[in-house]
Amino acid sequence: MTDDELYRQDSEAAEKHYAAIGRVATAWAEFEYITDILSVRLARAPENEGACLTAQIAGSARKLDAYISLARERGASKKTIRELCDFAKDTTGLQEQLNRIVHDQWMVYPSGFAQRLEITARKKLIAEFIPHQTETVTQFMAKIREHISRLEDLDARVVADIQALPGKSSLGTPG
């Protein structure tokens, strides 16, 4: 076996790959942060006081549950709520991909070949190495960025729905 065939965490290819994983984790943290900020605004809570609450909500699914509940309480349309629920379902799929990228064991070879060891046991055990190249990790970060834009667009619709309510002004506060 040549040196190029050996798994080495300190190779240039590995450093590039692990940097891509870090960028994915950072992009997801931004998504969750934006979800928190939008929820605090929708709740009409001061930023710091609202952060005391949102900091206790673990995971994107629960964060979106809170946001959707607030949107419903503030008067977002049924159509917008349905779209938010669809968005939440899509988020669950992205969260699963994120978990695989961030939490699985990686093996990156100096040649650039990368694989991750996926071990899950949701009703059936999966324990296998899956080829997963750096470019695929980088492409996933772009998906997260698109998802953030989609959330911001949906939030704009929530705000518009609330502002369209009779006797309401900014974020549904009495006019």
- Given a contact cutoff of 8 angstroms between Cβ atoms, the answer to whether 13 and 108 are in contact is yes
| Residue 5, pLDDT score | 62
How large is the average pLDDT for residues 142-170?
92
pLDDT above 90 for 171: no
| Residue 172, pLDDT score | 44
Where is pLDDT greater, at 48 or 174?
48
In this predicted model, what pLDDT tens digit does every residue of 51-82 receive, in sequence order?
999 999 999 999 999 999 999 999 999 999 99
pTM of the complete model: 0.89
Band of pLDDT at residue 11, cut at 50, 70 and 90:
confident
Question: 14 is written with which tokens?
Answer: 């590995």
Cα–Cα dist 97/118, whole Å:
11
In this predicted model, what pLDDT tens digit does every residue of 139-149 receive, in sequence order?
999 999 999 99
Q: Which residue has the tokens 């960028």?
A: 23
pLDDT above 70 for 175: no
Look over the chain and give the mean of its residue pLDDT values, rounded to a whole number.
92
Query: Residue 10, by phi and psi: left (phi above 0), alpha (psi -120 to 50) or beta?
Result: alpha
Cα–Cα dist 97/117, whole Å:
13
Band of pLDDT at residue 41, cut at 50, 70 and 90:
very high
